[in-house]
Chain A
Amino acid sequence: MNIFRLAGDLFHLISIFILIHKMTTSKSCSGISFKSQALYLLVYVTRYLDLFWTFALYNSTMKIIFIGSSAYVLHLMTGPFKPTHDPNIDTFKVRYLIGGAAILALLFPYKWTPAEVLWTFSIWLESVAILPQLFMVQRTGAAETITTHYIFALGAYRALYIPNWIYRYLTSTFWDPLSIIAGVIQTVLYSDFFYIYYTKVLQGRKFELP
């Protein structure tokens, strides 16, 4: 554990808190991509299978929080707030993301065991799971400020893992190329968003695409 990893995990928790807070206070899930949320649940369920055979207080608690909160968000989106979700603007073709992640996971896992292949699948899928959400923002051309805070916090989480990996490599020669490559891709996908978030939202203007 180091400060970058801890900060990354805190940003992840903050992003979930912002999302649930936004939905429950506005009683609406408008602007939130159901497809991205469903992909995140798939990511957590396939990555955290090791909950069944490994236990570490910090990691196991966080894993349960991520799976539980993700399922709760999907429950809100399919139950109480379903009327506020507009499937017509949430049209990204997620089958290509799932298919691509599955192919990469089958070709290059660290070991060909079901758990390792699913873990690798989750790493690749997470790197692109935000695309339906970004696509939705792009389609509508604007986003509520609270939604932009959510996307920022979620992006900051994996971005902060990058200095964590550099730190771990320098201090203990920890090296996990799969996580690192996927994490860098994930951060790059956010970079446009980060730029607009920084130049607009943080200066008190509305998030609108140029």
Chain B
Amino acid sequence: VVEEAGKDEL
């Protein structure tokens, strides 16, 4: 799920 990687973190 590279697209979403890390984007739900700060």
Chain B 1-10 interface residues, beta-carbon cutoff 8 Å to A: 1-3, 5-10
Task: Show the binding face of A for B, using Cβ within 8 Å.
Answer: 5, 9, 12, 50, 54, 56, 59, 62-63, 66, 110-111, 119, 123, 161, 164, 174-176, 178-179
Q: Which of B1, B3, B7, B9 contacts A161 (CB 8 A)?
A: B9
Distance of A78 from chain B, by nearest CB (Å): 25
Q: Which of B1, B2, B5, B10 contacts A63 (CB 8 A)?
A: B10
Complex: A151 Cα to B1 Cα, angstroms: 33
Complex: A161 Cα to B10 Cα, angstroms: 10
Contacts of B6 in A (CB 8 A): 119, 123, 176, 178-179
Complex: A59 Cα to B6 Cα, angstroms: 12
**Cβ contact within 8 Å between A178 and B8:** no
**Cβ contact within 8 Å between A62 and B10:** yes
Distance of B3 from chain A, by nearest CB (Å): 7
**Cβ contact within 8 Å between B7 and A50:** yes
Contacts of B1 in A (CB 8 A): 174
Contacts of A123 in B (CB 8 A): 6
Closest to B10 in A: A62
**Cβ contact within 8 Å between B3 and A110:** yes
13 A-B residue contacts at CB 8 Å? A5-B9, A12-B10, A59-B8, A62-B10, A63-B10, A110-B5, A111-B3, A123-B6, A161-B9, A164-B9, A176-B5, A176-B6, A179-B5
Question: Given A174-B5, A176-B9, A179-B6, 12 other A-B contacts at CB below 8 A?
Answer: A5-B9, A12-B10, A62-B10, A63-B10, A110-B2, A110-B3, A111-B3, A119-B6, A119-B7, A123-B6, A176-B5, A176-B6
Q: Which of A56, A66, A119, A161 contacts B8 (CB 8 A)?
A: A56
